[in-house]
Structure 1
């Protein structure tokens, strides 16, 4: 059996519409122009602070405003669940993996409180024995420490990391574990440019790929 750790945003769930809404609410309060949904997708992946930094720079908001905007962003984040949806086939794939006896967890750069909130809202929390957010440790991905911690919290087995982005690919490479790349999500580079063991475009293919990786 395997220990499978998943990234969250852009891998299991499309959370960009909710995050986009938070960002534009903050920008409206600043009298700034909104960002696009595509902007929001491009800004996601390295945690809340980096998202707010990219949002500010896109609208020329001074660095001095960062702590205040970050605090406001995080305060709104817990309730950012209403437009977020799992990707097609995610629930069925998780059910199949759980039935096969694999242990599963989440390692994301999203802060831990909104991570737990959205997993509970979508009913996905039942699949995961351990959950690590971007603020669970003093470092976050692509530092491999959170991923190592997530694997260590699960029973012994083949380590597999599933993600969608450049950050995820680097994290897996630094952790020395096989990386399964979801071809949807918020990736900016072509699939062939990212180091990965296997890639897949639909979650229906994931259980079979996991079985082959464990063989």
Structure 2
């Protein structure tokens, strides 16, 4: 087996967070339902919340409200604050890394690859979640949705992640069209995961590559 940075085609592997590194759907659903309950709305099933994840908490709450009767004229900011406070206090109750992720990170690190995160989640929330799961120290950079004032699908979060990780040839791994669009705009290849919070078939995301399990990532990136 080849080892060493000079032998691997990529210097940096950048990951989205929710639906890519970590299955956070259970805890995010609980947070949405907590906010909905504050105004007497019925709870949503996790399967309904999954496609709402990806553009940040505000978008997720808006979609949850639309699905349960519409966005109220008042109280949105209060509900968002309650959602965020509840989520931060229960951020890793059910959330777990996807199968095969830890082994994939180990293998990438053995090649000298730097792993990093570019997410639309608020940076302090991303750091808290990754910290509680023992993953924060494994990331060369963590760029959140509020780090730069612009979020994916804009390229800036991906470009900042690459720069803060030391630069070099990079690839982005994600589960949404926003990840693919950000990677393309940043001029780097993308890998879409089939197991994320998909709002369309994975084949329709337009990624350069697809994987169905993290066992497939290293062989794909290493090439023949």
- Is the pair's TM-score, using the shorter chain for normalization, greater than 0.5? yes
1:77-109 superposed Cα distances (whole Å, 9 cap, x missing partner): 223211001110001101110111001110101
Does 2:88 correspond to 1:78?
yes
Question: 8 Å contact 1:14–1:87 — kept in the other structure?
Answer: yes
2:74 corresponds in structure 1 to: 64
Counterparts of residues 137-152 of structure 1 (less than 5 Å)? 137-152=148-163
2:57 maps to what in 1? 48
**Aligned pairs, number:** 213
1:11-31 Cα shifts (integer Å, max 9, x gaps) = 011000001111111211211
Q: CA deviation at 1:70?
A: 1.3
CA RMSD of aligned residues (A): 1.4
Q: Distance in 2 between matches of 1:107 and 1:156?
A: 14
1:90-129 to structure 2, matched below 5 A, reads 90-129=101-140
Residue 176 (structure 1) aligned with residue 181 (structure 2):
no
Is 1:131 aligned with 2:160?
no
Q: TM-score, normalised by structure 2?
A: 0.90
* CA distance in 2 between partners of 1:58 and 1:194 (Å): 24
Give per-residue Cα distances to partners, 1:138-166, cap 9 Å, x unaligned: 11111111111111111232111010111
Asked if 2 retains the 8 angstrom alpha-carbon contact of 1:105 and 1:128, the reply is yes
Of 201-210 and 189-198, more deviation after overlay is shown by 189-198
**Which segments of 5 or more consecutive residues in structure 1 lack a partner in the other structure?**
none
Tell me whether 1:17 sits opposite 2:26 in the alignment. yes
Once residues 78 and 148 of structure 2 are traced to their aligned partners in structure 1, the CA distance between those partners, rounded to angstroms, is: 22
Segments of 4+ moved more than 6 angstroms: none
